[in-house]
Chains A and B, each alone.
Chain A
């Protein structure tokens, strides 16, 4: 059974608008959570991760995600998006065998 759900397959948004990409995971998986970004025809790049400590984690390019244990969520947010943020975003919890289980992905489409 899938242990992570990305609720939106596509999210269109205008440039400079805020965005939230939603991710929910099953409570049976490890609490280590990751967001990866994939640009066309490329591999995945680590965007940010939650391992322990503060539940709010940030990336260097303005994204942030908050680990919410009670809601089993790890939503990704950015207050103002750029055209260059157009990509596919994957949420991934770490399972017991230390491999990542990936959500189906959310395609963020930033329009001018």
Chain B
């Protein structure tokens, strides 16, 4: 089945540790995105990538890093510099024609 797979679904991290969230898609989409969702708020764009080996900062990139070495993969690293990392993280990719964005099931990150 085609789709976007995010892992892990739930992740706990100690303060001061980096953590990497995985996002894999087999839809052959060029563009991929990472959003953050906090309770009672909409989604905010962290990073996006239009093509392999290229990515751009979104609205809230501070404390995050990404890589795009393969078309299928767009991992997000939440670094210790991110002051409030506890949130729901959503990965997405866009159809080649550019009209529709599809989402993965999300990853819950909790800092303990």
Contacts and interface: CB of A to CB of B under 8 A. Distances in A.
Q: Chain B: interface residue count, which band? A: 20 to 34
A98 B43 contact: no
B55 to A, nearest CB: 12
Contacts of B102: 46
Interface residues of A, number: 23
A104 B35 CA distance: 13
A60 interface: no
A99 B58 contact: yes
B64 interface: no
A97 B49 CA distance: 11
Given A43-B103, A46-B100, A99 B41 contact: no
Contacts of A72: none
Secondary structure dominating the interface of B: strand
Contacts of A49: 99-100
Interface in B79-107: 90, 92, 94, 98-106
A105 B42 contact: yes
B48 A32 contact: no
Q: Give the top 5 A-B pairs by smallest Cβ distance, nearest first.
A: A102-B42, A43-B103, A102-B43, A44-B103, A104-B42
Interface of B: 4, 6, 31, 33, 35, 40-45, 48, 50, 56, 58, 90, 92, 94, 98-106, 108
